[in-house]
Amino acid sequence: MSDLSTIRPSGPWSGREVEFLTATPRLLEERGYDGLTIDDVAAETKASKATIYRRWPSKADLVVAAFIEGTQSQVKLPQTGTLREDLLVLGRQIRTHASQYAPVVRAVLTEIARTPELGAALQAFFADRRALIGAVLDAAVARGEIDAAAINDELWDVLPGYLVFRHLIPRTPPSDQTVIDLVDQVILPSLTRRAV
Amino acid sequence: MSDLSTIRPSGPWSGREVEFLTATPRLLEERGYDGLTIDDVAAETKASKATIYRRWPSKADLVVAAFIEGTQSQVKLPQTGTLREDLLVLGRQIRTHASQYAPVVRAVLTEIARTPELGAALQAFFADRRALIGAVLDAAVARGEIDAAAINDELWDVLPGYLVFRHLIPRTPPSDQTVIDLVDQVILPSLTRRAV
Amino acid sequence: MSDLSTIRPSGPWSGREVEFLTATPRLLEERGYDGLTIDDVAAETKASKATIYRRWPSKADLVVAAFIEGTQSQVKLPQTGTLREDLLVLGRQIRTHASQYAPVVRAVLTEIARTPELGAALQAFFADRRALIGAVLDAAVARGEIDAAAINDELWDVLPGYLVFRHLIPRTPPSDQTVIDLVDQVILPSLTRRAV
Amino acid sequence: MSDLSTIRPSGPWSGREVEFLTATPRLLEERGYDGLTIDDVAAETKASKATIYRRWPSKADLVVAAFIEGTQSQVKLPQTGTLREDLLVLGRQIRTHASQYAPVVRAVLTEIARTPELGAALQAFFADRRALIGAVLDAAVARGEIDAAAINDELWDVLPGYLVFRHLIPRTPPSDQTVIDLVDQVILPSLTRRAV
DNA sequence: TCATAAGCGAGACGGTACGTCGTGTCTTACG
DNA sequence: CGTAAGACACGACGTACCGTCTCGCTTATGA
């Protein structure tokens, strides 16, 4: 049901690439997408612009690469034995991780219109999280905690979706309590609801 | 409980301003944020660049204004008599409206870091929607459909938040069925859940 | 031989026009031609731009008008009774006057390429001076001081031409001694030379 | 007595700079100073505006540079053996050269008020010519053609000054005959005059 | 006495050049 | 060969000025 194989491995980045991909999100956070310049990244890493362009053909590509690199599978599949605990662990991981990458996600969203591959990257990013939830739910079904029929394929991503959303909107980052409430008052009631 | 008074009135835009604020999101959708040029907007509206810059000191400001203008209270308070119908009407309005403004929202997110007033505008945008949901829920409580205790102030905005989120991520716009499922399988189970 | 009738009368400027034509050369001197703006002139005279444009259709025209107004026949025909004295009086008048109007002349020269009427105005300006010299020389011929054959129509304007030239080149304005030397060592030797 | 060492060498312009400095006076002549745009110069030389601005910080500076470059010592010291012939050769060189550069000189005069280095350049331009005349006169003194006492330091530049002046005033460019008359009827009589 | 018009101050406007700066390409010289 | 340095073409940015225009307000006459 879930497809954990969609989680791509980290790119084979050399030490030099890591410098660029580390400096990029930092500068992005400092100055915003428009304020970020390739010259800045080059200066920051004592590199030449050509060295960066050899690797990524445009600024957007660099930002996307930084985004993908930063979001690669940093969320692990929890196996606590209960659905609620699994969801809480997962939600907390997502929350923590998203809080770091909110500026990059914001920047990346802007570029979606022009960069089709970026759309794919973003989809993959969320597909990862959905896949993890799928695995968690599958395990719960196997344990008999919930009914497989209660799982709506399309709505799996309410948990990561809403948490990320809260990070994107300014001054509303989710707290740990938000995660708990979301699991207890929204996700679990949905999964354990009486059939409609 | 809800605060409908936070819904700000439309800015006092003259006919000329409306032209700019209409052309901007259209071009934004066509070409993306970086692809949008002030010269384009000027040409499109047969105006001079100076005329635009007199109103908004930068491209970012114009886009922000277009966002704010376009998102001003276009969602009306439904009064169908039942919670489910109210939520469906509201969800469909949000879905429709968000589908129009997704490119603008994406563009605008980039600017959050640099434009404090934009943060406020975005918050207000969602505050509006939360206020509407609050009113809908209040009415349901008054009718005895749900228990006031089931309402979590912080999670009110799962409905608009998740719908907008789906619009932001490429190729996953919510369908009408998504709205129905969200209401029936997530929102209502949450509101009618047994106390935890 | 000379044509004193070419000396045009002053324009029938009203008090308002005089303000503009006075402010213009002053600002021209302060800021140069490019630095002079119609807005400046308007602000300086507490007038509206339209009020200026109603009178002169362009900035160049205003400058030309100021030039013409400022150079209108301020040089009088001397009648001292001797050629040398006449030339000295004339040379001193030219020197004094040109020193005031050098910035305007410089500005006006720039515009010659684009404003044909300006060429005419400049020619008239120098024709005035030539006409005066012509009258002085005619009187000298009549008194028998010089031979009519010694007068070269084309070279009459060495006196005003060279004096103005010295004002145009920076830091080389002619002194009173320059005028005396020019008359004694150049103009008079030329006029009293033995036929070649 | 004369100072030929003041004749500065040509700037160390690369091939690219020469293109700009060649196109500039041509366009200047075509369109006048205000009509000249940096975009035009860039288009004409298939260059980018930035490439021009990297070298000269403003349009005025470019024009000044073109003036200086174009007026660098293009007049050679004549050595015909007689004063009259030397002066005629020199006068003709000046006339020819000035006819080419009259539009640039006109444009450049406007900028004098704002560009001190331009004043120096203009002075140097005429100093060159004065130095050449000084050398010619020195040679004539050495040959015994004229008396050293007849040379007035301040008036040396009547020849170049008057010729340039005639180019600046519209529709009065000096002809070859003007040069001959100027030498025969003004300069030589002055140099061979009886002491006053 | 009032209205009707003409001139004016104020300033928005379309257009266009300015001078700056960032992108992405390219060349040169070094290691 | 990959790199640092940096020039370059391109083109958008945001500013400023020109010359046109509209809007009220004043003033000056004529009914």
Is the pLDDT confidence value at D1 over 70? no
Contact A32 B110 (CB under 8 A): yes
Contact C109 D168 (CB under 8 A): yes
For chain D, the DSSP string reads ---GGG-PPPP---HHHHHHHHHHHHHHHHHHHHH--HHHHHHHTT--HHHHHHH-SSHHHHHHHHHHHHTSS-SPPP--SSHHHHHHHHHHHHHHHHHHHHHHHHHHHHHTTT-HHHHHHHHHHHHHHHHHHHHHHHHHHHHTSS-GGG--GGGTTHHHHHHHHHHHSTT----HHHHHHIIIIIIHHHHTPPP-
Is the pLDDT confidence value at A10 over 90? no
Asked if residues B186 and B105 have their Cβ atoms less than 8 Å apart, the reply is no
Q: How many CB atoms lie within 10 A of CB A120?
A: 14
Contact B186 A158 (CB under 8 A): yes
Is the pLDDT confidence value at B10 over 90? no
Q: Measure D39 CA to E28 C1' (Å).
A: 28
Handedness of CA C20, C26, C29, C34 (dihedral sign): negative
Highest mean pLDDT among A71-85, B66-80, B86-100: B86-100
- B189 at the A interface (CB within 8 A)? yes
Q: How many CB atoms lie within 10 A of CB C105?
A: 19
For residue C113, which of B12, D106, A128 has the smallest C-alpha distance? D106
Handedness of CA C94, C96, C99, C102 (dihedral sign): negative
Q: What is the model's pLDDT at position D102?
A: 84
Q: What is the pLDDT of residues B104-154, one digit of tens each?
A: 888 888 777 666 667 777 777 778 888 889 999 999 999 999 999 999 988
Average pLDDT over every residue of D40-54 = 96
Is the pLDDT confidence value at B40 over 70? yes
For residue B158, which of B183, B138, B136 has the smallest C-alpha distance? B183
Contact B185 A182 (CB under 8 A): no
Is the pLDDT confidence value at D28 over 80? yes
Give the Cα separation of B53 and B35 in Å (integer). 18
Percent of chain B having pLDDT more than 70? 88
For residue A165, which of B88, B111, B67, B122 has the smallest C-alpha distance? B122
Is the pLDDT confidence value at C176 over 70? yes
Measured in whole angstroms, the distance separating CA D95 from the mean position of its chain's CA atoms is 9
Percent of chain D having pLDDT more than 90? 52
DSSP-assigned letter for residue B190? H
Average pLDDT over every residue of D43-64 = 93
Q: What is the model's pLDDT at position D192?
A: 92
Name the average pLDDT for chain C: 85
Name the nucleotide nearest C53; use CA and C1'. Answer: F19
Contact A32 B162 (CB under 8 A): no
Contact B110 A112 (CB under 8 A): no
Q: What is the model's pLDDT at position D12?
A: 63
Contact C193 D171 (CB under 8 A): no
Is the pLDDT confidence value at B49 over 90? yes
Question: pTM of the entire structure?
Answer: 0.79
Q: What is the model's pLDDT at position A89?
A: 95
Neighbours, chain A (3 or more CB pairs < 8 A): B
Host H or E run for residue C139:
helix C116-142
Point out the residue among D106, D150, D177 whose CB comes nearest to the CB of C110.
Answer: D106
Q: What is the model's pLDDT at position A7?
A: 36
Is the pLDDT confidence value at D10 over 60? no
Nearest residue in chain B measured CA to CA from A119: B170
Asked if residues C155 and D181 have their Cβ atoms less than 8 Å apart, the reply is yes
Name the nucleotide nearest D46; use CA and C1'. Answer: F9
Is the pLDDT confidence value at D97 over 70? yes
Is any atom of strand E within 7 angstroms of residue D34's beta carbon? no
Is the pLDDT confidence value at A66 over 60? yes
For residue B107, which of A34, A144, C39, D143 has the smallest C-alpha distance? A34
Is the pLDDT confidence value at C64 over 50? yes
Q: Which nucleotides of strand F lie within 7 A of protein CB?
A: 3-22
Name the average pLDDT for chain A: 85
Point out the residue among B106, B155, B158 whose CB comes nearest to the CB of A112.
Answer: B106
Q: What is the model's pLDDT at position C70?
A: 77
- C58 at the D interface (CB within 8 A)? no
When comparing pLDDT for D76 and D71, which is higher? Answer: D76
Q: What is the model's pLDDT at position C113?
A: 67
Q: What is the model's pLDDT at position A113?
A: 66
Average pLDDT over every residue of A115-132 = 76
Q: What is the model's pLDDT at position C12?
A: 62
Is any atom of strand E within 7 angstroms of residue D57's beta carbon? yes
- D158 at the C interface (CB within 8 A)? yes
Distance from CA of B107 to the nearest CA of A (A): 5
Average pLDDT over every residue of C59-71 = 85
Q: What is the model's pLDDT at position A4?
A: 42
Going from the C-alpha of D25 to that of each of A116, D15, D37, D53, the distances in angstroms are: 49, 16, 12, 17
Name the nucleotide nearest B46; use CA and C1'. Answer: E14
The yes-or-no reply on C/A contact (3 CB pairs or more, < 8 Å) is no
CB contacts of B29 in chain A (<8 Å) are 113
Point out the residue among A111, A166, A185 whose CB comes nearest to the CB of B190.
Answer: A185
Residue A17: which residues within 8 A CB-CB, separation 6 or more?
A: A11, A55
- C196 at the D interface (CB within 8 A)? yes
pLDDT grade for C1, boundaries at 50, 70 and 90? very low
Point out the residue among C106, C181, C182 whose CB comes nearest to the CB of D110.
Answer: C106
Give the Cα separation of C26 and A140 in Å (integer). 89
When comparing pLDDT for A122 and B11, which is higher? Answer: A122
Q: Measure C50 CA to E8 C1' (Å).
A: 9
Is the pLDDT confidence value at D6 over 90? no
Q: What is the model's pLDDT at position D92?
A: 95
Is the pLDDT confidence value at B53 over 60? yes
Is any atom of strand E within 7 angstroms of residue D51's beta carbon? no
**Residue D5 identity (one-letter amino acid):** S
DSSP-assigned letter for residue C37? -
Poorest-pLDDT segment among A91-105, A176-190, B85-99, C178-192:
A91-105
